[in-house]
Amino acid sequence: MISAQRPNVTERPWLDPAAKPQIVLEGIGKTYGAFTAVGSVNLSIYKGEMFALVGASGCGKTTLLRMLAGFVTPSAGRVVIDGVDMTEVPPYERPVNMMFQSYALFPHMTVADNVGYGLKRLRLDGATRQRRIDEALEMVQLGGLGARKPHQLSGGQRQRVALARALIRRPKVLLLDEPLSALDKKLRESTQFELMDLQYEVGITFVVVTHDQDEAMALSSRIAVMDRGAVVQVGTPAEVYEFPRTRFVADFFGTANLLEGTVAAAEPGLVTVRCADLGCDLYVDDAGRVQVGERVCVAVRPEKVQLSKSPPAGERRNRLKGVVWELGYLGSRSTYQVKTAGGKVVTAFAQNERRTLDWSIDWSDEVYLSWDANAAVLLQA
């Protein structure tokens, strides 16, 4: 979904040992009494990144964002921006601004006054203020709508007013809490691209909180996945999706078949896992860092599982037999739940490449499921 030309994905400063991060969170944590909302989090974010904080409800994403903004005082650790310790600096003196989930627009004020509100503390003269407002409205493609009230705008336009208000002070970092959650699905998708274009144009670092994994993958240069107050993995969307480090990450991003077993052989480049549930061995292309006898989990994405009515060919290819238990038509693809002999259900997605009203593979059909050894990831059980 991301255009290859976007600098935020082609430049990878996090891979350059000489590159200095713009934002450093050092052992940052927040406790409320005995409850730890955020554990000791370490993160480095580079200038110009679109960095997403993702995780289930209550995992601590908003608390982390608010510590960055200065609205929540950390119980431990430091927030450093451009080399300056911001931990004790109040929110309005930090080079960051925040766009809230609800947009928090004043209903009685015009769009221009809502946007200009962001300049209040700067005490600018009237002409300079107006010029900055006009520029900000142009930037979010709302030029000419300054005289309207928020209720005279669409949801997408209201979101852009909130963005203009947050950007008008030219912060170094823009923090966005669920920036697209108030929009319907179709609008959310187009607004994702607008947000990416805008971020590229203004060159400001964006840190985005979202619980929507698809949104995080479409938008971000990198993603930090959070679970119960901890960051469990940081990586590009493709790293997090294709190479999840834990079962939690594999399961949280998209759909994953998680198949447990015991390592039967571990040669470099090929690990054999004996799965009692499936009554067969699975092969995983892996560096072989596991020991024979170790309990492991094989994670395989449904789109990497092929379905066929006849036995698939190929040496050391993972191959299971089962019966179609459930199937769902989703337009662009169909999803199949296949029950294997041992009772384990495996999910496979099939792309609907041709127009047809018939199922080539139907309910109760006997089918083969197969995938290459390099399509699966080996994780701790």
Select from 59-67, 280-288, 293-301, 369-377 the region that touches ligand ATP (CB under 6 A): 59-67
What are φ and ψ of residue 237, in 5° steps? -55, -45
Contact with ligand ATP (CB under 6 A) among 21, 29, 48, 60: 60
CB proximity list for 185: less than 8 A, separation 6 or greater: none
Q: Which of 2, 43, 59, 133 binds ligand ATP (CB under 6 A)?
A: 59
What stretch of H or E contains 187?
A: helix 185-202
Which of 2, 61, 215, 286 touches ligand ATP by CB under 6 A? 61
Q: Which residues contact 197 (CB under 8 A, 6 or more apart)?
A: none
- In the shown chain, the binding pattern of residues 125 to 164 toward ligand ATP, with x for contact by CB under 6 A and - for none, equals ----------------------------------------
Token pair, residue 38, equals 């955020």
Among 8, 63, 220, 318, binds ligand ATP (CB under 6 A): 63
CA 365 → CA 322, 354, 374, distances in Å? 8, 20, 27
Among 342, 337, 380, 344, residue whose Cα is nearest residue 361: 337
Instruction: Tell me the window of 3-11, 31-39, 92-100, 368-376 that interacts with ligand ATP (CB under 6 A).
Output: 31-39
Please tell me whether residue 213 binds ligand ATP under the rule CB under 6 A. no
Is 65 strand, coil or helix?
helix
Q: With CB under 6 A as the contact rule, which of the stretches 30-38, 132-140, 307-315, 349-357 interacts with ligand ATP?
A: 30-38
166: helix, strand or coil: helix
**What does each C-alpha distance from 220 to 80, 97, 196, 284, 335 come to in angstroms?**
22, 19, 8, 29, 27
Whichever of 8 and 210 has its CB closer to ligand ATP, that residue is 210
- Nearest approach, Cβ of residue 176 and ligand ATP (Å): 13
Among the listed residues 211, 245, 247, 274, the single contact to ligand ATP using CB under 6 A: 211
- Alpha-carbon distance of 273 to 287, in angstroms, equals 14
Residue selected from 4, 15, 17, 32 as contacting ligand ATP according to rule CB under 6 A: 32
Judged by CB under 6 A, the stretch of 21-29, 54-62, 113-121, 199-207 that binds ligand ATP is 54-62
Cβ nearer to ligand ATP, comparing 34 with 313: 34
Is residue 37 a contact residue for ligand ATP (CB under 6 A)? yes
Backbone φ and ψ for 357, nearest 5 degrees, come out as -100, -5
Instruction: List residues near ligand ATP by CB under 6 A.
Output: 32, 35, 37, 55, 57-63, 211
